[in-house]
Amino acid sequence: MLLPVAIALVTITGAVLTYLSIRQESAAVDNDRLAVIQTVLVQSRQTGAESQTHAFGGLAAQYRAMLAQADAISAEDPQAAQAQRALAQSFATSALIRGFMSGTDASSTFDYAGQMQAALHNSDAIAPPENQPALTMATADRFHNRARWLAGTVVGMLVVVVLLMLARLSRARPRRLMLTALSAAGYLVALALALPHTF
């Protein structure tokens, strides 16, 4: 009577471990997908910031050209040069590049790194941090490892069921006791290996 109960217990435990393994693998797959989405978002954010910085660099070059033109005509027509400089400053303000220029003359330089950081900062609310895909992949790997461990313990439970069946079919008492003891030890070992990976 004891062996059928043991077989039922081990079978139920194996079924529970199978269910838990499937759940862990499902969570791993979900995190794999999320990591891919986050990677695309991070790359899109980077590409968008680079495009914006490149466009602003072009506007900065246009601003410097306007100032250079003002410098070129300043000797023969100071009034036109002054109007050209005012137009250049107005252009820099409306183009939103004034804060990234090192000065207000034709030799001023554009702060590409500062503009890049500002463009990246503007998308902070809609894109995950750059390290988030790696963190999500690490989480997926943990779930995959747990699922593999649990699947391995399910195989162990199947071996225990086979040993219990052999014990039940055995007519020799010493052999039955030995198989039952092996089954009990195998069950406890499999359970001990499974428990740390269930949550």
Q: What is the pLDDT of residues 79-99, one digit of tens each?
A: 888 999 889 899 988 988 888
What's the whole-model pTM score? 0.70
- How far is residue 15 CA from its own chain's centroid? 32
pLDDT band at 18 (very low <50, low <70, confident <90, very high): very high
Q: Note the pLDDT of residue 35.
A: 95
CA distances from 161 to 150, 155, 191 (A): 17, 10, 14
In this predicted structure, the answer to whether residue 1 has a pLDDT above a threshold of 70 is: no
Label residues 41-54 b or e (16+ Cβ within 10 Å = b). bbeebbeebeebbe
In this predicted structure, the answer to whether residue 148 has a pLDDT above a threshold of 70 is: yes
Q: What is the pLDDT of residues 181-193, one digit of tens each?
A: 999 999 999 999 9
pLDDT band at 75 (very low <50, low <70, confident <90, very high): confident
For the chain, domain boundaries: 2-197
